[in-house]
Structure 1
Amino acid sequence: MLKQQKLTELIRTHALKLGFDACGFAKAQYLPNEARRLEEWLDQERHGTMDWITNYFDKRVDPTLLVPGSKTVVSVLASYHHPKHKDQIGVKDQPLISKYAQGRDYHKVLRKNLKKLFSFTEELLGGLEGRIFTDSAPVLDKVWAQRAGLGWIGKNSNLLNKNIGSFFFIGEMIIDAELSYDTPVTDHCGSCTKCIDACPTDAIYEPYRVDANKCISYLTIELKNEIDKKYQTNIENWIYGCDICQDVCPWNSKSVLAQFEDLHPRDYVAERDLEFWENLTPKQYDEVFEGSAIRRAKYEKFKSNVEIVADNLSS
């Protein structure tokens, strides 16, 4: 048992050395409660047009099916918070891009460093089977991070951490090694409803439940169809994503700064005015968003968002 604890702490220490802000460990197993909640959410069609969420349901709620032979889910957090981000809180007269998308594509940044952590763990244990994930497969990342003691899932459905806030990305290693497991964190939202009260589209239809059909992030990124006119005004000045429910969260007053420089905001993305975005050409789109998560929304979708925001700002 002592050996397992020592190995676990060596892996955790190396994760922090690489630049991750937290690392935790949970036993890989079936998640019956989460399976029930997810099935209910899907049956109510709260996922909008994101049909990919319905795929691989069994693997999504059981990592031992996703990665046969797996025994442990290692979760890591990587902050993307930066001092410049405070400048856009409450801004209503300029177009805004969600903070997480202002730097390099997080998939690439986390994957690169998770590979290093996997190699270290493989060498430490003398062999290892498993896979790494960065929001790229059917993994309930927030649930596993909670089980690994890295925070609790708040009323806005984001993972919250007392020391870090919620402006971070989550990644995993699902591996066949048995390690020492952390204790899940209890809920610390209390009676606070700031995220619910602040959401302009009422997407948080009840505490801990979000209807993607109304969420500004979904509407400006995932929705391929035209945004319903009844929501266009509520989008306010968000041309890609939304940070409102995180900006008002008291726990984000303690957000730690991003250690990975690639996650820092790029000025040529974060500081553009409406005129630039309105005149953006397909070539400029490719140049400005090279290596960016914003490429997930195609040029036509992005420009449609800009048109809506332009109307909102002119009214």
Structure 2
Amino acid sequence: MLQNKIKYSQLIKNEALRLGFLDCGIAKATFLEEEAPRLESWLKNNAHGEMKYMEGYFDKRLDPRLLVDGAKSIISLSLNYYTDDQQNDPLAPKISKYAYGKDYHFVIKDKLKALLHFIETEIGEVAGRAFVDSAPVMDKAWAKRSGLGWIGKNSNLLSKKGSFFFLAELIIDLELDYDNVFNQDFCGTCTRCIDACPTQAITNPYIVDGSKCISYLTIELKNNIPEEFKGKMQNWAFGCDICQDVCPWNRFSKVHNEPDFSPKEGLLDFSKDELTEITEEVFRKVFKDSPIKRTKFEGFKRNINFLKE
């Protein structure tokens, strides 16, 4: 039985890497005891801002067995999106690296479906569900438990390969060979992410006030951006890479090889004036199937207008 678990786990990891994932680790599906008080405190402090969906499904966030009947294993996966491509006009409103190409939800979902199909074909009837940050699953906690890395002071998952990667999970009803939790913290005394954050969103090491984060302000926030952030956005119009760009571990990041993450045609060529004056027609054309569609045209214009006022 143990031999089968080891064999199946290795099969799954090999296939995950073949499908293009950066890393794959496996953890036992159980209650996240350590994370429960942290999540409760974070919500009580309103660090989620207007992300009211974070308040829902509290029990399911902490126990994946409530999401998938008979859940035994969490297969955590990371997918690299790092690129050294940059916008050509240094004065143009800035867009986060992860949004240069096709919406990662589509890309990762296809890979997860392929991996689940592989498991069913090679191992037998296995029930499970795929998750890509759109369900109440604590991605970073499970990635840490699966041995993929540690939680950094900017609250992102870090590994010795950097942090420019997406996280996703397969939750299945098959017992597997489980990886050890990543118990080391290689941030040490470094505070570069804390020092660099222009809105002081990292209120304490390992704790981010989401309501102050530039990514939240430019993507999740539906109302007007509060005036207190005027002059602090450092020209970010969609997302923010500051705390990752300054992280020493990201010097080990390697350029991704995922064709769907290649920059959308024309995106990097926009000048400051062209982005400032972008029309809805151009927005729809350039950002079709892009994460930037999340803000809608009105939200994107709101962000750009806030930067220039």
2:60 counterpart letter in structure 1: K
Tell me how far 1:257 sits from its aligned partner: 2.0
- What TM-score do you get using the length of structure 1 for normalisation? 0.95
Determine if contact 2:84/2:255 at 8 Å carries over to the other structure: yes
1:181 maps onto 2:178 in alignment: yes
Determine if contact 2:264/2:287 at 8 Å carries over to the other structure: no
Of residues 205, 208, 224 in structure 2, which corresponds to 1:207?
205
Structure 1 distance, partners of 2:40, 2:155, is: 16
Aligned-residue identity in percent: 50
Aligned to 2:247: 249
Total equivalences in the alignment? 307
Which portions of structure 1, spanning 4 or more consecutive aligned residues, are displaced by more than 3 angstroms?
Answer: none
Determine if contact 1:47/1:53 at 8 Å carries over to the other structure: yes
Structure 1 distance, partners of 2:224, 2:207, is: 24
Aligned to 2:3: 2
Determine if contact 1:274/1:310 at 8 Å carries over to the other structure: no
Structure 2 distance, partners of 1:267, 1:229, is: 34
Determine if contact 2:264/2:286 at 8 Å carries over to the other structure: no
Matches within 5 A, 1:1-315: 1-85=2-86, 93-162=91-160, 164-185=161-182, 186-311=184-309
Question: Deviations for 1:77-122, whole angstroms, at most 9, x for unmatched residues?
Answer: 100012214x78xx96332100111110000000001100000011
Tell me how far 1:310 sits from its aligned partner: 2.5
Determine if contact 1:97/1:270 at 8 Å carries over to the other structure: no
Question: Deviations for 1:184-220, whole angstroms, at most 9, x for unmatched residues?
Answer: 2221100000000000010000000000111000001
Structure 2 distance, partners of 1:294, 1:196, is: 26
Determine if contact 1:81/1:264 at 8 Å carries over to the other structure: no
1:31 counterpart letter in structure 2: L
Determine if contact 2:92/2:273 at 8 Å carries over to the other structure: no
Structure 1 distance, partners of 2:229, 2:112, is: 38
1:117 partner SS: helix
Question: Deviations for 1:231-278, whole angstroms, at most 9, x for unmatched residues?
Answer: 021012101010000000000000122122101222522331121112
Structure 2 distance, partners of 1:259, 1:13, is: 17
1:114 counterpart letter in structure 2: L
Determine if contact 2:74/2:170 at 8 Å carries over to the other structure: yes
Structure 1 segments unaligned to the other structure (5+ residues): none
Question: Deviations for 1:152-204, whole angstroms, at most 9, x for unmatched residues?
Answer: 11000000010x20000011100000000111222110000000000001000
Determine if contact 1:27/1:72 at 8 Å carries over to the other structure: yes
